Amino acid sequence: MASASPEEYAGFGRDPEAAALLQGSSGSGRLPAARSHRGRPAGSSTRCCWGRGQDWPSVRSWNAAFLALCGLGAAVVGISLLGATTSSRVSRGTSEGLAGVTRSWAAASSVKLVQTARDVGDRLAEMPDLDLVPDFNFDGPVIDIDSSTVDQELLGFGGAFTEASAVTFQQLSRTLQEQILEQYFGASGLRYTMGRVHINSCDFSVASYSFDEQYGDSNLVSFDDQLMHDKKALIPLLKRAKLKVEETAKAMGESGLSLLVRADSQAIGKAGALGVIDYGGGHISLQTASGGYITADDTGLLVIKQSELGDGSNRFQMTTNSDGTVSLRASSGKYVTALEDGTLRAQAQRIRDWEKFRRTDAGSALNKLALRSAHGGYVTERPQMQGLRLLATPWSPPAWMKTNGQMVGSGTPCLREEYRATWAQYVVRWISAYAAQGLRMWALSVQNEPTNNPGWEACTLSPAEEADFLAYHLGPAVKAKHPDIAIFVYDDSKHLLPQYVNIALQHPTAAQYVQGAAFHWYTGDLFDRVSNVHQAFPQVMLLASEATYERRMWLPDQSSAYSDWRFGEGYAHDIIGDLNAGAVGWLDWNLLLDKTGGPNHVGNVCDAAVVADCEAQKLDFHPQYYYIGHFSKYIPPGSKRVGTSAKLFSTEYPTSTRPGPYGTCTGRAGLETTAFRRPDGWIAAVVLNCANVHIAFKLRHSASAVNANIPAHAIQTYLLPP
């Protein structure tokens, strides 16, 4: 492309073609796997179907012959799958962390595959590396990845820290407690970075409670700022989880690799002011606000390392172009390219539009500059992983603030008019008290399930009532004391999501306080409701904040929490649908329950991804755990969703799963998929098969494709190198 003037920057095209990203040699890095691997049932089938009328040996031989003729260097970025065969299993290992995985997986001509499958015993199991070949004709389903289409940025995955989870956790040995923390928040586990916390009690509490039981205490004189009730179990669990997330972030930043550098900031700011160490002759090093130096790692990705200046990897040659822009050439000899999603990578052999940056002096110091990419974003440092993001949600105000005089259930209206401002100040006081415990909230819901009046803690609010309460009481009170906290409206099942969001954003005063909307899954898929809100209000963060299987969804003969493969499939089905509709994250309900599905002080028991037998001191990891891991473990915060589409061969696939009121993946429609470009440039794609049969399909990205196969009742994650 021809050079563009500064005025033309806004009209720059998309990323350089994918083929330019595939420079380097093949490697043999291995995926981390879960510690649990269940054996295969006797007589389970391991035969894999490929294309229609094809078998595995013929396809494999064709691929090998084709690669020999074409050469591996002809392949461009794509996603592929490999059929599950018992003879191709590899040993399971522990995780090296995101940064370690990136360094060891430097292969440019292979794709990594992780699989969980019901009938072959795989649980987050690493499969053999896959080769990419030029696109080919295929008589069957086709999944396409379109990395030129970029949508929402992911915030993360997590679960709810309920008192039930904390009390159950407290009854376990120290060894089992550490296992839970590692399996959820550790580098070898699911790498959760989000959580939800109830303000006052909820149904998954031992009993109803609040932090001010003094009737008529409008000034909150008796508010318990020490949070003595939550200090018994909930706060200790939160603190240990927070520490584990921080340890994981540090582990993933081994060798000083703790920050990424990206060109996606709309303003220079402190993080965009780069210090310049000039060696003469155009050779420089760039120091960020954290004190580290911008460095090109082994794959060319620009990161920030706390390294010595003597390390040549942090030196660049700055070239001034004829149009006044500058370009950076790394020690590898390749120029730094700015991709449209903000990723910076030393990969280009020559200077084109994407290798040009507009230089601006930053501050009064002569040795400070800012660099703006062709896509309009300033170069700035970004954490690879955030800390623990906590969403606070109230179920009920203290009984004396409510028209029904009790925390359970709700009158209409819920709040007594004279205590609306008091309730807003109560919430702020709770946030401040938690912050004093070292637990800062990231976000706040106005109310849990404002449309629901159940037999546990509740406070119903109509769309107009919620908007008014936010506008005149909660919004001003929160922003006065905690201006950085994001406020989410709704936090209820998807059926009325558009109405609540519309009314809040049309409210002349409430709209300024709305940063997001949260939703649950109990009224069914309704992905169109989420998508409609995302399309109408793209600036609003949409968060799937609760999902679980209530006892009414269990098999009739089950009275205790049990392992049901359908539940894992239902979770994945919902996650894929929500993410493709625009969700920025997904939160499970209780992180941990006992084998009864509680404790729950009103008997509203549910299943959980991890269930503990406290008497026997044993943990049971249910299918939900492994299915969630295919997303949370390999799609980190900061990843951006890319386009996917599926051309299915059959109109209906055989299945034994009946449709349910929520959380049901029948498999009749065939394969489901979503894909994200990670902050390190890798693409992670997830494919789900809930049908009773293996499905052979082609997975295609740009001009490359792979003959792929997924077992019945299985989920797979693919990782493509940048």
Position 38 pLDDT exceeds 70:
no
- Taking residues 75-100, report their average pLDDT: 29
Q: Where are the domains of the chain?
A: 156-251+386-637, 259-383
* Cα→Cα distances 24→166, 298, 316, Å: 48, 10, 20
Higher-scoring residue by pLDDT: 474, 258: 474
SS3 172: coil
Strand partners, 489: 517
Token pair 């013929």 is found at 58
Q: How far apart are CA 233 and CA 228, in angstroms?
A: 10
On the CB side of 397, CA atoms within 13 Å amount to: 35
CA distance from start to end of the chain? 22
Neighbour-count burial for 512-527, b at 16+ CB within 10 Å, e otherwise: ebbebbbbbbbbbbbb
pLDDT band at 655, cuts 50/70/90? confident
φ/ψ of residue 641, rounded to 5: -70, 135
Please say whether the beta carbons of 493 and 500 come within 8 A. Answer: no
Q: Note the pLDDT of residue 306.
A: 63
Distance CA 468, CA 450 (A): 13
The mean-pLDDT minimum among 80-94, 264-278, 566-580 falls in 80-94
Between CA 50 and CA 57 the distance in angstroms is: 10
Q: What is the pLDDT of residue 312?
A: 72
Instruction: Answer whether residue 84 shows pLDDT above 70.
Output: no
For residue 9, give both structure tokens: 């920057």
Lowest mean pLDDT among 36-50, 231-245, 396-410: 36-50
Place of tokens 């330019």: 20
Look at residue 88 in the predicted model and tell me its pLDDT: 27
Tokens for 264, please give them: 């996606």
420: CB partners within 8 A, 6+ apart: 469, 472, 473
- What span, in angstroms and rounded, lies between the C-alpha atoms of 172 and 236? 14
Angle at 449 between CA 423 and CA 403, to 5 degrees: 45
Residue the block writes with tokens 């949070």: 227
Pairing state between β 486-493 and 516-520: parallel
333 token code pair: 């000899």
Percent of the chain with pLDDT over 90: 64
Distance, CA of 296 to CA of 381 (rounded, Å): 14
Long-range contacts of 354-359 (CB under 8 A, 24+ apart): 354/12, 354/15, 354/16, 355/327, 355/328, 356/3, 356/321, 356/323, 356/325, 356/326, 356/327, 357/263, 357/325, 357/326, 357/327, 357/328, 358/6, 358/9, 358/324, 358/325, 358/326, 359/325, 359/326
Phi/psi at 428 (nearest 5 deg)? -60, -40
Cα 267 from chain centre = 25
**Fold agreement between 156-251+386-637 and 259-383:** no
Share of the chain above pLDDT 70, in %: 81
**Nearest partner of 611 among 558, 544, 570, 575, judged by Cα:** 558
Instruction: Single out the catalytic residue among 96, 355, 381, 449.
Output: 449
Burial of 245 (0-12, 13-18, 19+ CB in 10 A): buried
Q: What is the pLDDT of residues 452-485, one digit of tens each?
A: 999 999 999 999 999 999 999 999 999 999 999 9
Separation between Cα atoms, residue 289 and residue 57, nearest integer Å: 55
Would residue 17 show up in a list of annotated catalytic residues for this protein? no
**How confident is the model over 551-563, as a mean pLDDT?**
94
Nearest-CA neighbor of 318 among 283, 272, 356?
A: 283
pLDDT digits (tens, 9 = 90+) for 157-212: 999 999 999 999 999 999 999 999 999 999 999 999 999 999 999 999 999 999 99
The amino acid occupying position 391 is L
**Per CATH, which fold does 259-383 belong to?**
Trefoil (Acidic Fibroblast Growth Factor, subunit A) (2.80.10)
102 token code pair = 């990136």
Query: Catalytic one among 182, 466, 546, 569?
Result: 546
Select the CATH number that applies to the domain covering 156-251+386-637 from these four: 3.50.50.60, 3.40.50.1820, 3.20.20.80, 3.40.50.300.
Answer: 3.20.20.80
Element (H or E) spanning 392, and its range?
A: strand 389-394
CB 713 within 8 A of CB 570: no
> In the structure encoding, which two tokens stand for residue 97, read together?
């962390």
Check: CB of residue 148 under 8 Å from CB of residue 186: no
Instruction: Residue count of the chain, please give it.
Output: 722
Question: What's the rounded mean pLDDT across residues 257-265?
Answer: 72
Handedness of CA 118, 122, 124, 129 (dihedral sign): negative
At 42 the pLDDT is 30
Using pLDDT thresholds of 50, 70 and 90, give the confidence band for residue 248: confident
Distance of CA 661 to the CA centre of its chain: 25
Q: Is 247 a catalytic residue?
A: no
Q: Is 502 helix (H, G, I), strand (E, B) or coil?
A: helix
Which amino acid would we find at residue 557?
A: D
Q: How many CA atoms lie within 13 A of 423 on its CB side?
A: 26
What does DSSP say about strands 344-348 and 335-338: parallel, antiparallel, or unpaired? antiparallel
Q: How confident is the model at residue 434 (pLDDT cuts 50, 70, 90)?
A: very high
> Residue 99 and residue 506: Cα distance in Å, rounded?
44
